[in-house]
Amino acid sequence: MGGSRELADTCVLRLERVTKRYRQGPRELTVLREVDLSLWPGELLVVLGPSGSGKTTLLNLMGGLDRVSTGHIRFGELDLATATAAQLTHYRRHHVGFVFQFFNLVPNLTAYENVELAAYLVEQPLPVDDLLEQFGLADRKTHFPAQLSGGEQQRVAIARAVVKRPALLLCDEPTGALDYETAKDVLGLIQELPERFGTTVVLVTHNQAIATIGHRVIRLRSGEVVAVSRNETPLAASELIW
Ligand X SMILES: Nc1ncnc2c1ncn2[C@@H]1O[C@H](COP(=O)(O)OP(=O)(O)O)[C@@H](O)[C@H]1O
Region from 9-17, 42-50, 52-60, 133-141 binding Mg ion, contact rule CB under 5 A: 52-60
Minimum distance between the CB of residue 60 and Mg ion, rounded to whole angstroms?
9
Name, in order, each residue with C-beta under 8 angstroms of 106's C-beta and a sequence gap of 6 or more: 113, 114, 117, 145
Minimum distance between the CB of residue 191 and Mg ion, rounded to whole angstroms?
21
Q: What is the 8-class DSSP label of residue 88? A: H
Minimum distance between the CB of residue 18 and ligand X, rounded to whole angstroms?
13
Distance of alpha carbon 169 from alpha carbon 162, whole angstroms: 8
Amino acid at position 89, single letter: T
Structure-derived torsion over alpha carbons of residues 109, 135, 212, 63, reported in degrees to the nearest 10: -40
Instruction: Kindly state the number of chain residues that form the binding site for Mg ion, as judged by CB under 5 A.
Output: 2
Q: What share of the chain is helix, strand, coil (3-state, %, to 5)?
A: 35, 25, 35
Binding site for ligand X (CB under 6 A): 22, 24, 29, 31, 49, 51-57
- Rank residues 54 and 166 by Cβ distance to Mg ion and give the closer one: 54
Name, in order, each residue with C-beta under 8 angstroms of 11's C-beta and a sequence gap of 6 or more: 38, 39, 40, 41
Minimum distance between the CB of residue 96 and ligand X, rounded to whole angstroms?
17
Q: Helices 111-119 and 150-162 meet at what angle, rounded to 10?
A: 20
| DSSP string across 62-84 | HTTSS--SEEEEEETTEETTT--
Residue 158's binding partner, choosing from ligand X, Mg ion, none, with beta-carbon cut-off 5 to 8 A by kind? none
Region from 48-56, 69-77, 106-114, 135-143 binding Mg ion, contact rule CB under 5 A: 48-56
Residue 97's binding partner, choosing from ligand X, Mg ion, none, with beta-carbon cut-off 5 to 8 A by kind? none
Chosen residue from 53, 56, 114, 212 binding Mg ion by CB under 5 A: 56
Minimum distance between the CB of residue 205 and Mg ion, rounded to whole angstroms?
10
- Rank residues 53 and 191 by Cβ distance to ligand X and give the closer one: 53
Residues that bind Mg ion (CB under 5 A): 55-56
